[in-house]
Amino acid sequence: MTQLAILGTGLIGASIGLGLKAAEGTEDIEIVGFDTSREREREAERRKAIDRRGSSLRQTVQGAALVVISTPVLATREVMEEIASSLTVGTIVTDTCSTKAQVMSWAEELLPNSVNFVGSHPMAGKTEFGPAAAEATLFQDARWVVVPSRSASSDAVETVSGLATALGAKPMFMDAAEHDAYAAAISHLPMFAASAIFRLVRDSEAWPELSLLAASGFKDTTRLAGTDELMSHDIAVTNRDQVVHWLQRLRGAIYDLEDMITDPDRDEEFLRHLAQLNIDHIAFHDGQIGRVEIDQKGSGIPVPGMTDMLLGGALSERLRQMTEDSADVDEKTRQRRRLFGRR
For a copy of itself, the binding residues in 71-100 under the rule CB under 8 A are 71-72, 74-75, 78-79, 82
Q: Which of 4, 12, 16, 49 binds a copy of itself (CB under 8 A)?
A: 12
Stretch that binds a copy of itself, among 59-67, 110-118, 153-161, 274-282 (CB under 8 A): 274-282
- Other beta carbons within 10 angstroms of residue 182's beta carbon come to 17
Asked if 306 touches a copy of itself (CB under 8 A), the answer is no
Least gap, CB of 25 to a copy of itself (angstroms): 27
Phi, psi (5° rounding) for residue 144? -130, 105
- Other beta carbons within 10 angstroms of residue 126's beta carbon come to 14
- Which amino acid, 182? Y
Quick one: DSSP state of residue 239? T
Maximal CA-CA distance, the chain? 78
Q: Which of 55, 105, 162, 274 binds a copy of itself (CB under 8 A)?
A: 274
- Other beta carbons within 10 angstroms of residue 192's beta carbon come to 21
- Between CA 268 and CA 271 the distance in angstroms is 5
Q: Which is nearer to a copy of itself, 151 or 250 (CB)?
A: 250
Q: Which is nearer to a copy of itself, 22 or 230 (CB)?
A: 230
Asked if 165 touches a copy of itself (CB under 8 A), the answer is no
Q: Which residues pair with 94 in a beta bridge?
A: 68, 118
Asked if 218 touches a copy of itself (CB under 8 A), the answer is yes
Answer whether 76's CB lies under 8 Å from 69's CB. yes
Asked if 193 touches a copy of itself (CB under 8 A), the answer is yes
Asked if 254 touches a copy of itself (CB under 8 A), the answer is yes
Helices (H), 167-228: 176-183, 189-202, 207-213, 216-221
Asked if 271 touches a copy of itself (CB under 8 A), the answer is yes
Q: Which is nearer to a copy of itself, 21 or 291 (CB)?
A: 291
Answer whether 2's CB lies under 8 Å from 65's CB. yes
Instruction: Kindly state the number of chain residues that form the binding site for a copy of itself, as judged by CB under 8 A.
Output: 122
123-162 positions binding a copy of itself, by CB under 8 A:
123-126, 129-130, 142-143, 145
